[in-house]
Amino acid sequence: MKRSNLNRLEYFVAIADAGTITAAAERMQVSKAVVSKQLQLLEEELGTTLVVRNSRHLHLTEVGHSFYEAARASVAQADEAYEMVKQGRDEPAGNLRITAPLDLGVAHVASVAAEFRIAYPEVTVDLTLSDARFDPVEARFDIAYRVGWLADSANVARKLVSFQQIVVAAPELVERLGQPGLPSELAEFPFIEHRALSNPLHWQFSDSKREIADVQMSPALRADITPAIKAMVLEGAGISVLPDFFVRKEIENETLVRLVPEWRLQTGGIYAVYPPTQFRSAATKRFSELFAESLRGSLT
Pairing of strands 212-216, 219-223: unpaired
Q: Is the pLDDT of residue 124 over 90?
A: yes
pLDDT in tens, 237-272: 999 999 998 899 999 999 999 999 999 998 999 999
pLDDT over 80 at 292, yes or no: yes
* Confidence at 132, pLDDT banded by 50, 70, 90: confident
pTM: 0.65
Most confident of 12-16, 87-91, 150-154: 12-16
Strand partners, 162: 269
Architecture of domain 94-161+269-299: 3-Layer(aba) Sandwich (3.40)
In this structure, the number of other CB atoms found within 10 A of the CB of residue 249 comes to 11
Q: What's the average model confidence in pLDDT over 125-149?
A: 90
Q: How many whole angstroms separate alpha carbon 147 and alpha carbon 269?
A: 6
In the predicted model, is pLDDT for residue 40 greater than 70? Answer: yes
Which of 270, 292, 272 has its CA nearest to residue 155? 272
Mean pLDDT across the stretch 150-173? 91
* Mean pLDDT score across all residues of the chain: 89
Kindly tell me if the per-residue pLDDT of 4 is higher than 90: no
Q: Residue 1 pLDDT more than 50?
A: no
Given this chain, do its domains 6-90 and 94-161+269-299 carry the same CATH topology?
no
Compare 54 and 24 and report the one with higher pLDDT.
24
Asked if the model's pLDDT at residue 54 lies above 70, the reply is no
Confidence tier at 55 by pLDDT (50, 70, 90): low
pLDDT of residue 70: 84
- What pLDDT does 74 receive? 82
The dotted CATH code for 163-266 is: 3.40.190.290
What integer pLDDT is reported at residue 133 of this predicted model? 83
Query: pLDDT tens-digit profile of 204-225?
Result: 999 999 999 999 999 999 998 8
* CATH 1.20.1250.20 fits domain 6-90: no
Q: Is residue 197's pLDDT more than 80?
A: yes
The 3-state secondary structure of 27-81, one letter per residue: HHCCCHHHHHHHHHHHHHHHCCCCEEECCCCEEECHHHHHHHHHHHHHHHHHHHH
The answer on pLDDT for 44 being more than 70 is yes
288 touches 189 (CB < 8 A): no
Domain extents in the chain: 6-90, 94-161+269-299, 163-266
Banded model confidence at residue 181, pLDDT cuts 50, 70, 90: very high
232 pLDDT more than 60? yes
